[in-house]
Amino acid sequence: MNQLIVKLVFILSFIILPLQVGCSISRSEIEKEGANSIFLMKKILGNSITVREDTSGINIEYCPDNTCESFKSPISKSFSILSDFAYIYLFYISDYYYLTHFRKKTPLERISQIVNRNIGSCREKEKIEIVKCVLMSLSDKYSIKVIFVRYDEGKRNEVIIDLKEQLKKLSNLP
């Protein structure tokens, strides 16, 4: 009987988790120009992409299984920037096998547009260095954190990912 209760709690945590405290980003806010990266991700990745805003800022999560990559910014006005950051990170860096389809479905022109609209002072000559610079500068300017999330026994466990270390493994770009 106890095992059944534990399993039910575990299953319900996946149903209730997206409804946690905090309000969702309104549809009209997401539809604003510049915030379309989230729509592009949702179109391909479906319900594995979630967005939440609460008193601590904005959170975009990619959760294809009982693990997630979470992108957080305390700056609530940076939704479109955070969406772009998450898109670039998932496209170029994430290790999830599930993203193979996402990478194949994303035209190179689209990912280039997303990188270019965030290029700022990144003027490196090599594409790989531009992508690294864009991710680091967005992370620094908007205090974006990348977090690995794992659910064990219905409990959420978070580990902050070292972005600089992740960027080191970026070697070949399409």
Q: Would 173 be classed as within a structural domain?
A: no
Say if pTM beats, i.e. exceeds, 0.95.
no
Q: Would 35 be classed as within a structural domain?
A: yes
Q: Would 119 be classed as within a structural domain?
A: yes
Tens digits of residue pLDDT in 115-142: 999 999 898 888 899 999 999 999 999 9
Instruction: Estimate the share of the chain in helix, then strand, then coil, as percent rounded to the nearest 5.
Output: 50, 20, 30
Measured CA to CA, the distance from residue 148 to residue 68 in angstroms comes to 6
CA dihedral 79, 47, 157, 67 (to 10 degrees): -120
Domain of 12, in residue numbers: 2-168
The count of domains in the chain is 1
Tens digits of residue pLDDT in 70-116: 999 998 778 999 999 999 999 999 999 999 999 999 999 999 999 99
Tens digits of residue pLDDT in 4-34: 433 333 333 333 333 333 334 444 444 444 4
